[in-house]
Amino acid sequence: MVTPLTPDDPASLGGYRLAGRLGEGGQGVVYLAHSPSGLQVAVKLLGTGDSETRARLAREIDALAGIASFCTARVLDVSTSGPRPYVVSEYVDGPSLSERVRDRGPLRGGDLERLAVGTATALAAIHAAGIVHRDFKPSNVLLGPDGPRVVDFGIARAEGAATMTSGLIGTPAYLAPEQINGSPAAPASDVFAWAASMVFAATGTTPFGADTVPAVLHRVLYAEPDLSPLPPRLRGPIASCLSKDPARRPSAQQLMVSLVNP
């Protein structure tokens, strides 16, 4: 949903004319904008950052360029040298998965299976490019007219890059047990978050609840979620992805294959 610009928002960034707000998160504000040629785009305005932060952003954008564009919002332009760095990406005209479930209820049948296959394929492509998303969740899946797109790599990192140490990264209901225990995010933790997101898509609730953060984290560590509401075709793959032991989870590529050839 697009909301009006506030008095504190800029009217333009570079050659991009801002038309409204698409959302705001810990990494910055995302705007709907128009390119000089009139194309609708999404512009993410980031914090000012120091030189090290800007250099890291530039490296991450280079890595994102290696991700197949069918599964995510393609990066069109980047500015890391001005007063405020920003990233311009393809605008996906559709609600997030969290908005879709909130407004119309859980997904069923073919809609759910298409979502599962599409997002698992996206995750396989992301990992093939050497990227760990770190914050896979329903609000970061956009349901475009041509299929789901995984977005918001604002805290994604190339594998092997320095990890952030200022606390937990991600949304508690979608964190993997090893992240809660202090291990850095890895492809296996993205797979766990994918499975938790698919449970939300199918049921309208997260598999580990949504009450207090300590209670949710305790369930992630020690409780087995109820997967009985899931269709039988998805129950096995999702259960394997929610294993407490990351070594027992399939890779995103294995997951993708299991979904199309169960």
* CA 49 to centroid of chain Cα atoms: 22
So what's the pLDDT on residue 202?
A: 97
**Residue-by-residue pLDDT tens, the chain, 262 positions:** 789 999 999 999 989 999 999 887 666 788 999 999 999 999 988 776 667 766 766 776 776 666 767 788 888 888 877 777 888 888 998 999 999 999 999 999 999 999 999 999 999 998 988 888 888 999 989 999 888 999 876 444 444 443 333 344 557 889 999 999 999 889 999 999 999 999 999 999 999 988 888 999 999 999 999 999 999 999 999 999 999 999 999 999 999 999 998 6
CA–CA separation, 177 and 184 (whole Å): 11
pLDDT at 77: 85
Tell me what pLDDT residue 78 has. Answer: 82
CA 237/CA 254 separation, integer angstroms: 10
Q: How far is CA 144 from the centre of its chain?
A: 14
Q: Going along 26-63, which residue ranges are E strands? A: 28-34, 40-46
* Per-residue model confidence (pLDDT) at position 170: 58
CA atoms within 13 A on the CB side of 258: 18
Are the beta carbons of 198 and 106 closer than 8 angstroms? no
Q: Tokens 């705007």: give the residue.
A: 31
pTM of the predicted model as reported, rounded to 2 decimal places: 0.83
* Pick from 151, 130, 127: nearest CA to 63: 130
| pLDDT score of 166 | 35
Residue with tokens 């909130």: 102
Residues forming the active site = 135
**In the chain, what are the domains?**
12-90 (3.30.200.20), 97-260 (1.10.510.10)
Query: Helix, strand or coil for residue 189?
Result: helix
- Rounded-to-integer distance, Cα 232 and Cα 109, Å: 11
